[in-house]
Amino acid sequence: MTTDRFFSYSAENGYETHATAEAARRRVNDDIAAGRDDGWGDSMDWAAWGKIHERAVCILHKSLEEYEADGDERQAARMRAEGWDFLEDYELRPVEATE
């Protein structure tokens, strides 16, 4: 898992993560500067950078075969009906806990 603690977002480059606040801010400033020559789209208002406080962490990854082996026919039947090969669940956790 990445240990980047900061993010930048712009329509030009999408969501990116960075190790430092300076790098994240510089990325957005570079995108703003690039628009000075060609003009900006309406989405420039969404350009932003900030600190990542929490990340989504997978807390469950279980295959259809595992549910069948465990005898959980109710869940296995649901997964077959939906066409799912596995089931996952996520929750937000502080960045420090995900490293």
Q: Over 60: is that where the pLDDT of 69 sits?
A: yes
Is the pLDDT score of 5 beyond 70?
Answer: yes
- Please say whether the dihedral angle defined by the alpha carbons of residues 85, 61, 93 and 13, taken in this order, is positive or negative: negative
Nearest to 23 by CA among 52, 53, 57: 52
Q: Which residue has the tokens 């075969």?
A: 65
pLDDT (tens digit, 9 = 90+) per residue, 31-47? 888 888 777 777 788 88
- State the Cα–Cα distance between residues 75 and 24, nearest whole angstrom: 43
10 and 43 part of one domain = yes
| pTM greater than the 0.75 cutoff | no
Range of the domain at 36: 6-51
Query: 18 in a domain, yes or no?
Result: yes
pLDDT confidence of residue 95: 86
Residues 86 and 64 both lie in one domain: yes
Indicate whether 1 pLDDT > 60: no
Angle at 11 between CA 3 and CA 99, to 5 degrees: 10
Shared domain check, 85 and 62: yes
**Of 51, 67, 82, which closes a domain?**
51
